[in-house]
Amino acid sequence: MGFKPSYLKSLESGILLKKVNEAKEHLTNCYLCPHECGIDRRKQVGFCKASHKVIVSSYGPHFGEEDVLVGNRGSGTIFFGYCNLKCVFCQNYELSFRGEGSLVSNEKLAEIMLILQNYYRCHNINLVTPTHFVPNILEAIYIAAKKGLNLPLVYNCGGYERIETLKILDGIIDIYMPDFKYSVPYRSKKYSQVLDYPNKAKMALKEMDRQVGGLKTHERGIAYKGLLIRHLILPGGLEDTKEVLKFIEEELSQDTLVNLMSQYYPTYNAFQYDELGRRINFKEYREAYTFAQKLGLRLD
């Protein structure tokens, strides 16, 4: 198959370098995400707590992702420190809240991408929680692409995205893999400390869909372009889940892939909320899955 990653086309046209420079302006006046802190990240930190330098918590081939990303060689994941959400049930809270990891230069980040491609031979570069480091990531892509990077890029985010930032990523990202956590504001405020999550996520999903459309796979079943949405079913959240699924069915491409996740377990500060102090049961998952099937959604 003659697939060519979007960023290589942008590199050849000169657009990629322009986008790198545009994104880097946010390091001194940060409006990357909907928090719109407007700070100089060289001198202070905003909601996400990240400075102007990348924190990489870990990297390597990952086999716990969706089958369409993993294949037989794994998804080349790069886990970044910090996050623009504060989910009380976060399973990676050491990274998202505490920013555990190592400061790396953009040149080193480019080297990591090439290691995942050339040494581990992963199927893609999977950028996990990348929003607050978009300027660094774009410069690393620019450096790595000039040195032979040619894998699809996966933007693996929490769904709380700013349209203007996503437009910078247009022509760079091949696969968007956002969470779609909530459809109602009071739940996003209660559990993730952001009241406007549903509205921002819905707009972001539409923009992602406009850029890449539904998920496309080559003959071996490995994704190379498109939209894959994750939704984690929370205990007691079945009606919210149904609204999430209805939005996907009504507003996005029919071949968007949906991963309806059942693996919630109480962790971090979840026990402060009685309703989050348990796993979901089989009946809840079956009802959600059956509802998605009746909608005709393409399920992972």
Residue 1 pLDDT > 60, yes or no? no
- Residue 144's CB is within 10 A of a number of other CB atoms, namely 24
pLDDT of residue 3: 87
The reply to whether 204 falls in a domain is yes
The reply to whether 211 falls in a domain is yes
For the domain that residue 56 is a member of, what is the CATH number? 3.20.20.70
The reply to whether 153 falls in a domain is yes
Rounded CA separation 194/81 (Å): 19
pLDDT of residue 257: 98
Rounded CA separation 84/220 (Å): 35
- When divided into structural domains, the chain yields a total of 1
The reply to whether 123 falls in a domain is yes
Residue 2 pLDDT > 80, yes or no? no
Backbone angles phi, psi at 133, to 5 degrees: -115, 20
The reply to whether 213 falls in a domain is yes
Q: State the sign of the Cα–Cα–Cα–Cα dihedral 250, 218, 160, 36.
A: negative
Per-residue model confidence as pLDDT tens digits over 3-18: 899 999 999 999 999 9
Per-residue model confidence as pLDDT tens digits over 223-281: 999 999 999 999 999 999 999 999 999 999 999 999 999 999 999 999 999 999 999 99
- pLDDT band for position 219 (cuts 50, 70, 90): confident
The reply to whether 1 falls in a domain is no
The reply to whether 212 falls in a domain is yes
Rounded CA separation 17/23 (Å): 10
The domain in which residue 109 lies consists of 6-299
